[in-house]
Amino acid sequence: MSESMQGLKRSHYCGELTAVDNGRVVTLMGWVNTRRDHGGLIFVDLRDRTGLIQVVFSPEINSASFTKAGGVRSEYVLAVTGRVSIRPEGTDNPNLATGEIEVLVDELRVLSQAKTPPFYIEDGVEVDENLRLRYRYLDLRRPEMQHALHLRHRAAKAVRDFLDEHGFWEIDTPMLTRSTPEGARDFLVPSRLNAGRFYALPQSPQLFKQLLMVSGVDRYFQIVRCFRDEDLRADRQPEFTQIDMELSFVDVEDVLELMEKMVSRLCREMVGLEVETPLPRFTYQEAMDRFGSDKPDTRFGMELVDITDIARGCGFKVFTSAAEEGGQVRGINAAGCGGYSRKDIDDLTKFAAIYRARGLAYFIVTAEGAKSPITKFFNDQEIAAILERFNAREGDLLLFVADQPDVVAASLGALRVHLAEQLDIIPRDKFNFLWVTDFPLLEYDEEEKRWVAMHHPFTSPLEEDLPLLQTDPGKVRARAYDIVLNGIEIGGGSIRIHRRDVQELMFNAIGLTKEEAHEKFFYMLEAFEYGTPPHGGIAFGFDRLIMLLAGKKTIRDVIPFPKTQSATDLMTMAPGNVDERQLRELHIKSTLKKLPDQNNNKNK
């Protein structure tokens, strides 16, 4: 049976005792990590969130406690009182922070017993993730998970300290908001008091933070939960956390400078990393041209090389027609891959095809020059020029795509990263931050047959591009910026439109009628008429940032209680069934013929 802790008070955490405490009487409380019986004594490694310490039970110190200790098992919760003692010579454990000492236990209380856990409470366990999520409260006991929770706490604290020092006020915006179907799918919340109407959980506080600028708040931030009811491909969660901020009377440069300071400080304080600032900046065009990506990973080279000019005159139809039809011919140098087999190259071709590349031409660079089925279409000068442009050496493999610019960029950009991973040439210890700026304001949506906002419809165009908004929308550049770390977008933002007339032009450009725009955003358009400061902001994906700082591969490892790809919480089995009465009160009913099986509603 469990004993009470009444009358006891913990004096120290397990991990904070050292040899300096030798002789001190301490009371510790924690979990049994391991128990060993040896030489007539019982040794327990007691664990709390600070670490482990060895506590020793001896029949000579307290025989009742010794007897009781004989019954303890892994994960029992104990309170022990005893004297800190330097370990006998030769028995210290250099792998343990407290390895020089042990606690000779007088009083023992068993505060809670424990069944055998379904997996070992230790780092690096190979356990099915669903089992870990089902018993998340045990999974979180593992030191690496505790470390991730602590890092998450410290990072949030550091961000708050930084922003507070820089004049930002944290202001909480509503979770029960209005659905504005533009962008991802909303989670809806039926209203009981307003029959037939629904709240939406926010995809971001975008409109509220802009309204706070209209309010004169000047500098706002929030570490805030956001929601998207999207299919959870890749590493997405239905609820996720953003560091969200907005500033008045600023231009792009002000935001970038300040964020560089914040990121540097975060890296220094969290992982002891010095980030060199200013961060490299690439325009969208440059990033696409050089890396085939708007989130380039610059930890390795293998940049895209343009040979459209050379290809234009060659005899290879695929190249020439691409060049003639407004397309490009570009390639990358897979250095050292000259030995790739026909099958290897076929695999790369298939990979590039995912990104709509219709083919992948190649040169194998040998001592005798380029070998390839297509060399016959080039004269010697052309081949020499190509090899030179790629800085090609014997043993290299050049890979080419000829197509429209978007296909060339997407396929070569992906191929570049794919090859780098395959070749294992990405240095793991680099943290390459960079900015991408001057994104296109709009992109054409082939399905919807209209222009859509590349970021969101509140993004300001560059002032000099404003006249193009009505004449050549695809050419308009945005005052938008993304921050990228090691090829992953960790944040993005823009200077916003702050004039009603420009905002209306923008809505018009994305095909909203005046009425539709007003129906959706009336409060925004109205607010802009009462004196609106120029403003801009940015939002960071907090989960992703923590994932990268913690060196984890999925955001599920840094979110305390994440959901699965089917948006369920395996521990509580949310979402669950609800009573008919609850739905009746909300003026809704299920359209399903048969409600889900109640038995699926709980774990067994």
Choice between 397 and 559, CB closer to a second copy: 559
Choice between 155 and 392, CB closer to a second copy: 155
CB 435 within 8 Å of CB 282: yes
Choice between 213 and 318, CB closer to a second copy: 213
CB 159 within 8 Å of CB 243: yes
- Supply 37's token pair: 């019986």
Choice between 416 and 498, CB closer to a second copy: 498
**Residue 492 vs residues 338, 426, 485, 541: alpha-carbon distances, Å:** 39, 24, 12, 9
Annotated binding residue at 489? yes
Annotated binding residue at 526? no
Nearest approach, Cβ of 431 to a second copy (angstroms)?
24
Sign of the dihedral through C-alpha 467, 471, 475, 477: positive
Choice between 19 and 96, CB closer to a second copy: 96
- Supply 139's token pair: 């999974």
- The secondary structure of 425-483 as a DSSP string is -S-TT---EEEEE--BSEEEETTTTEEEESS-TTBPBPGGGTTHHHH-GGGPBBSEEEE
Measured CA to CA, the distance from residue 425 to residue 56 in angstroms comes to 49
- What stretches of 292-441 show up as alpha helix (H) in DSSP? 308-312, 317-324, 342-354, 380-389, 405-423
CB 105 within 8 Å of CB 126: no
CB 493 within 8 Å of CB 535: no
Annotated binding residue at 182? yes
Annotated binding residue at 543? yes
Nearest approach, Cβ of 136 to a second copy (angstroms)?
7
**Residue 479 vs residues 5, 71, 218, 258, 441: alpha-carbon distances, Å:** 61, 67, 19, 16, 8
Residue with tokens 């935001």: 255
8-state DSSP, 269: H
Measured CA to CA, the distance from residue 247 to residue 535 in angstroms comes to 6
Choice between 46 and 304, CB closer to a second copy: 46
- The secondary structure of 144-201 as a DSSP string is HHHHHHHHHHHHHHHHHHHHHHTT-EE----SSB----SSSPPPEEE-SSSTT-EEE-
Residue with tokens 């400080």: 265
Nearest approach, Cβ of 263 to a second copy (angstroms)?
21
Nearest approach, Cβ of 323 to a second copy (angstroms)?
39
Annotated binding residue at 541? yes
Measured CA to CA, the distance from residue 335 to residue 302 in angstroms comes to 8
Measured CA to CA, the distance from residue 462 to residue 533 in angstroms comes to 17
Choice between 505 and 571, CB closer to a second copy: 571
Residue with tokens 């327990």: 44
Beta-carbon contacts of residue 158 (< 8 Å; ≥ 6 apart): 265, 266, 269, 270
Choice between 295 and 496, CB closer to a second copy: 496
Measured CA to CA, the distance from residue 478 to residue 283 in angstroms comes to 11
Nearest approach, Cβ of 448 to a second copy (angstroms)?
15
- Supply 89's token pair: 């010579």
Nearest approach, Cβ of 559 to a second copy (angstroms)?
8
Nearest approach, Cβ of 156 to a second copy (angstroms)?
6
Nearest approach, Cβ of 9 to a second copy (angstroms)?
8
- Supply 110's token pair: 């068993």
Nearest approach, Cβ of 14 to a second copy (angstroms)?
11
Measured CA to CA, the distance from residue 361 to residue 359 in angstroms comes to 6
Annotated binding residue at 235? no
Phi, psi of 326, rounded to the nearest 5 degrees = 80, 10
Choice between 230 and 346, CB closer to a second copy: 230
**E strand or H helix at 241, and its extent?**
strand 239-248
Annotated binding residue at 229? yes
CB 155 within 8 Å of CB 546: yes
Nearest approach, Cβ of 301 to a second copy (angstroms)?
37
Choice between 353 and 574, CB closer to a second copy: 574
Nearest approach, Cβ of 447 to a second copy (angstroms)?
16
Is cis: bond before 373, omega within 30 of 0? no
Choice between 227 and 355, CB closer to a second copy: 227
Question: From the annotation, which residues make up the binding site for ATP?
Answer: 228-230, 237, 489, 541-544
Question: From the annotation, which residues make up the binding site?
Answer: 182, 228-230, 237, 455, 489, 496, 541-544
Question: From the annotation, which residues make up the binding site for L-aspartate?
Answer: 182, 228, 455, 496
